Structure 1
Amino acid sequence: MASFVSELIGSGDLCDDHHNASSEEKGIHRLLACKLASLHEGQGETEEGGKPLQLGEDSSSESSSESESDNEEPEPEQTNGEPGGPCTEVSAQTEEWEDKELPKDHSHSELKKIQPYCEHCNAENKHNEQVTPRLLSQEQFLLKLDTEGTYQCTETGLIFEVNRKVDIKYCVLSWSKYADLVVKPWVVGGPLFDVKCDPTCLTSIQFPHSLCLGHHDANMTFRVLHVKSSGALLEATVDHSTTHVKWRVSSLSPVGPVIQSEETVYHHGAVILYKAIDHNPSLSFRVYIATNNESFIKDISKSVKHSSKKFMKIDKPPVCQKLLQNGKKYRLISEPEAEITPEEIEFVDGSLLKLKSYIEVYLEQPVEFKLLLVEMDSEEIVWKAKLRECDWVQHDQNQNVSKRTTNGNRRRKMTGSLPDEDVYDKRMKQVDTSDGAKTRTLLTDAQLITLAAKLGKEWIKIAIANLELEIGDIDDIREKKEDVTMCNFRVLKKWQEKERGNATAENLYKCLKNVTGDVQDVLKGFLQER
């Protein structure tokens, strides 16, 4: 067995690449320089975080890969064992996240465990008590367990063995940030998780894996990669089954299953579909072929989110009916015929790859069609789906209905004399409908810079708890290694991009209502400028 390199994780960050900055970003920097000349708060302060680790595998086999230039990560540097590496970063982030529960009807299909169709893998773990966690903000889960026992999370497939009452908070992480820690012959076996609770309350954790063992697991070795502040360790497992890898809890930080095998590895697969949203009558889709691994699927979602185009997820049964193998070639077929690029691919488990491969499907006319994924050697159908116009038209109609409902709820008039706080609360709900349409003043970059200087050092907490940004957005900002004011400004810009036409002073006032300091006074000034 090859030895595993226990590589210490550094705490350095990326520097911003000004040579590759867009003209818009250069303009923002110039504007920032002018505004910050008179602002001294936050100068020289830098919010430093752990450096995301670089990929450890060759991505040369990818085709039609999306370039996530905004999320490029540097080659990891050797360190001298300084604390504060990625795992410390993740732990600190988790502690900062607010226990903000999402609505009960909130859809979370991106991370919900996809049950594989396999005669070997669906018969086990039925005896464990099934529990549904609370879904918190920023894709966190929370389980409140009242007594000792063995419990299986219905959302992620994790199985917790606890010895007393405990609250467990956990989330799915990306393997690509830790790719250089997975050294051949070891390969990813399932999702990577960050679990937070009192470790003395947890006896063991069983991690779901994405492999089909069938009758071929005799020559497989399972371990759990445990990323600690001092480095990464390969820790022994207690046992493994056709669906899970059991690990005795020693301490808690990023952990996930890895394997090495002398035989062919078979993966449970999933096909994830996204449709480009634009005003063209033609149809354009991205087809991602992935292992049934939540870390991989989360990475795909993030990749689509950071694309220059806007996409919607098409809800079709994702599970492959035939197992996927590394090195096998597959072809995507459309009926009727469509432009498919590339026409065939060689499958690789892309869990460790920063760039996620996809196949593009293009049709000039919006017609119903079938997609079939075929294994080229055997000509067997691995996956198929029929796509109908209602799969995406209904989504657009729902969006329009939602907007009309929201607009109707906001048509209120402010009457009488009210205290200052109530006046501003009412103004946030005011809408000028004199011409039959909403007319709202969006915030300018100059206003955002002014506000950024007042937000203080807690920009990560504000970004997550108040502005509901994604962890990917936080990582993007942190990687630039800029001063606190610039980090605050970028947070506000991310919020502005997310809200689009709703990025008004009124809405920002509402989001930052519980932030202390001069923030409220600045926002009230913006409101009075209307």
Structure 2
Amino acid sequence: MSRGAGVAESSVDHSASSEEKDCPSPNLNTSKDSKSGEDSGSESGSESDSDNEEPKPEKTNGELGESPTEGASAQAKEWEDKELPTGHFNSESIKIEPHCEHCNAENKHNEQVTPRRLSGGQFLMKVDMEGVYECTETGLIFEVNGKVDIKYCILSWSKYADLVVKPWAVGGPLFDVKCDPACLTSIQFPHSLCLGRHDANMTFRVLHIKNSEASLECTVDHSATHVKWHVSSLSPVGPVIQSEETLYHHGAVILYKVIDHNPSLSFRVYVATNNESFIKDISKSVKHSSKKFMKIDKPPVCHKLLQNGKKYRLVSEPEADITPEEIEFVDGSLLKLKSYIEVYLEQPVEFKLLLVEMDSEEIVWKAKLRECDWVQRDQSQNISKSSTGGNRRRKMNITLPEEEVYDKRMKQVDTSAGAETLLTDAQLITLAGKLGKEWIKIAIVNLDLDISDIDAIREKKEDVTISKFRMLQKWKEKEQSNATVRNLYNCLKNVSAEVQEVLEGFL
């Protein structure tokens, strides 16, 4: 890590006194005059996000007056009771890696941990010993001094827009972290800026929100990807930055298609900072719109950095109706209304989208959209399935046992009915043959099996395919009436494409 501006060159043990000397007054002016609330919707369509789903900050177990050990243990049990099935994972929350060699080179030495997903968009990371652990879903890095359970979630900056006072600006996602503070030494927050070699005149702080008020707390250090902070107490916290130079943002372009009965195509295109708070706000905005949308899965990362105040235009090949024709980029993290560009085509044809920086005419982002990107199964929309999709299904059926192909032909069930059918042993053995070397990880992370179940299977020292089959059988026993094709498909949707193809064949 490179030292942040204004932080004394001292060891970690002596950083507290140095930070007190270098930091400004910890309390922020919360005057509404400082609110960054200009509505950029004058240039584009916008949708108000819904904030009522976000978990409310709770008092953290382990604070003064409580027994940290008993409190943390009781809360951990409560979290586990609310754990969601793996199939409920929301792909929107997956961390988007920036397309930047400088930034991606950092923090590769930390131990990567995949957290459990709880209700309300919350995560639970359980670690057994002292160390430094990085969350694979959010990019948060925790330094702990012993065994601890850490619960955390992503919050919206727009709720706290009044507390971010100029010249400070949002530097990355906002988080609410809960655990025994005595066990948590430091947190490293991911930031969405590309510092390159121009961070000499930049100052990072952590905005710490307590009871609807905020204070600026000094950072220990910062790197190309993270801002490190010594834990003082736990409540909503996130990085902010003050800079004398232009801020360069890692950008993301996120696509949604309107679902309706019209043969025409209508899309929303969001240009955002690569900031999970911002991206979560977009997802909520779309979810609570009066229209129905589906997310189009295209590489979101911009290949050129975005700058505040720069103008960009979206280009379609062949030509489409695009509103607005150009936008001025701003970091909209603090805005309740998230700007977007509307793209409309009268006929459902393949087309390319390009985001172009107007000054340089350089392409910042591009994608090709095909019919298979928006055609959905199990829907009655006025869109026919492509012939390539039919060929794909026929090819998959060949790999299935003959009796299953016969059953499918005889019953002529549709995909929605087949989705609720209980899995057979024949299907499980077919699927077992497609699972790779990571089947043990899949069993624990995706199917929520206990390690004791896996150990019992491995002790039999059977053929590896049979071991995988017994693992799937164990999941089927646990799920009982929920051991359907659809449920297993949801659990394994992030596994290999080959596994997904087999399950789609079952559907």
Mapped to 2, the partners of 1:57 and 1:104 lie a distance apart of 37
In structure 2, the partner of 1:117 is: 99
Mapped to 1, the partners of 2:199 and 2:190 lie a distance apart of 16
In structure 1, the partner of 2:490 is: none
**Aligned partner of 2:227: which letter?**
V
The answer to whether the 8 A contact 1:55-1:178 is kept is: no
- Unaligned 5+ runs, structure 1: 10-53, 73-85, 410-530
Match of 2:416 among 395, 403, 409: 403
Match of 2:58 among 75, 91, 100: 91
In structure 2, the partner of 1:375 is: 357
Post-superposition CA distance 1:441-489 (Å, at most 9, x none)? xxxxxxxxxxxxxxxxxxxxxxxxxxxxxxxxxxxxxxxxxxxxxxxxx
- Aligned identity (percent) is 77
In structure 2, the partner of 1:338 is: 320
Mapped to 1, the partners of 2:148 and 2:295 lie a distance apart of 36
How far off its partner does 1:127 sit?
0.7
Mapped to 1, the partners of 2:60 and 2:338 lie a distance apart of 25
How far off its partner does 1:98 sit?
6.9
Q: Secondary structure at the match of 1:120?
A: helix
CA RMSD of aligned residues (A): 3.0
Match of 1:149 among 123, 131, 139: 131
Within 5 Å, give how 1:283-298 maps onto structure 2: 283-298=265-280
How far off its partner does 1:174 sit?
0.1
Mapped to 1, the partners of 2:219 and 2:102 lie a distance apart of 21
How far off its partner does 1:151 sit?
0.3
Is 1:201 the counterpart of 2:214? The answer is no
In structure 1, the partner of 2:469 is: none
Post-superposition CA distance 1:334-371 (Å, at most 9, x none)? 00000000010000000000000000000000001000
Mapped to 1, the partners of 2:50 and 2:110 lie a distance apart of 42
The answer to whether the 8 A contact 1:56-1:181 is kept is: no
Is 1:63 the counterpart of 2:85? The answer is no
Mapped to 2, the partners of 1:278 and 1:67 lie a distance apart of 18
In structure 2, the partner of 1:6 is: 28
The answer to whether the 8 A contact 1:236-1:247 is kept is: yes
Which is further off, 381-390 or 227-236? 227-236
Match of 2:244 among 262, 266, 273: 262
Per the alignment, do residues 123 and 366 of structure 1 end up closer, same or farther by CA in structure 2, a change over 3 Å counting? same
Mapped to 2, the partners of 1:305 and 1:58 lie a distance apart of 23
Post-superposition CA distance 1:142-183 (Å, at most 9, x none)? 000000000000000000000000000000000000001000
**Aligned partner of 2:209: which letter?**
V
**Aligned partner of 1:359: which letter?**
I
How far off its partner does 1:407 sit?
6.1
Match of 1:361 among 343, 355, 373: 343
Match of 2:285 among 299, 303, 307: 303
TM-score relative to the length of structure 1: 0.62
Mapped to 1, the partners of 2:42 and 2:79 lie a distance apart of 35
**Aligned partner of 2:160: which letter?**
Y
How far off its partner does 1:58 sit?
1.5
Within 5 Å, give how 1:464-475 maps onto structure 2: none
In structure 1, the partner of 2:306 is: 324
Post-superposition CA distance 1:219-245 (Å, at most 9, x none)? 000000000127211000000000000
TM-score relative to the length of structure 2: 0.65
Within 5 Å, give how 1:267-282 maps onto structure 2: 267-282=249-264
**Aligned partner of 1:6: which letter?**
L
The answer to whether the 8 A contact 1:223-1:257 is kept is: yes
The answer to whether the 8 A contact 1:98-1:137 is kept is: no
The answer to whether the 8 A contact 1:274-1:287 is kept is: yes
Mapped to 2, the partners of 1:69 and 1:290 lie a distance apart of 15
Within 5 Å, give how 1:114-513 maps onto structure 2: 114-229=96-211, 231-394=213-376, 403-405=416-418
Per the alignment, do residues 183 and 65 of structure 1 end up closer, same or farther by CA in structure 2, a change over 3 Å counting? farther
How far off its partner does 1:106 sit?
3.8
How far off its partner does 1:107 sit?
3.9
The answer to whether the 8 A contact 1:7-1:181 is kept is: yes
How far off its partner does 1:138 sit?
1.6
Mapped to 1, the partners of 2:123 and 2:177 lie a distance apart of 10
Post-superposition CA distance 1:159-216 (Å, at most 9, x none)? 0000000000000000000001000000000000000100010000000000000000
Equivalenced residues, count: 353
Within 5 Å, give how 1:21-60 maps onto structure 2: 56-60=36-40
In structure 1, the partner of 2:467 is: none
Post-superposition CA distance 1:298-356 (Å, at most 9, x none)? 00001101111000111100000000000000000000000000010000000000000
Post-superposition CA distance 1:274-318 (Å, at most 9, x none)? 000001000000000000000000000011011110001111000
Mapped to 2, the partners of 1:240 and 1:127 lie a distance apart of 16
Per the alignment, do residues 239 and 397 of structure 1 end up closer, same or farther by CA in structure 2, a change over 3 Å counting? same
How far off its partner does 1:111 sit?
1.1
Post-superposition CA distance 1:375-427 (Å, at most 9, x none)? 00000000000101111114556999663246667xxxxxxxxxxxxxxxxxx
Mapped to 2, the partners of 1:361 and 1:99 lie a distance apart of 44
The answer to whether the 8 A contact 1:207-1:245 is kept is: yes
Mapped to 2, the partners of 1:261 and 1:8 lie a distance apart of 20
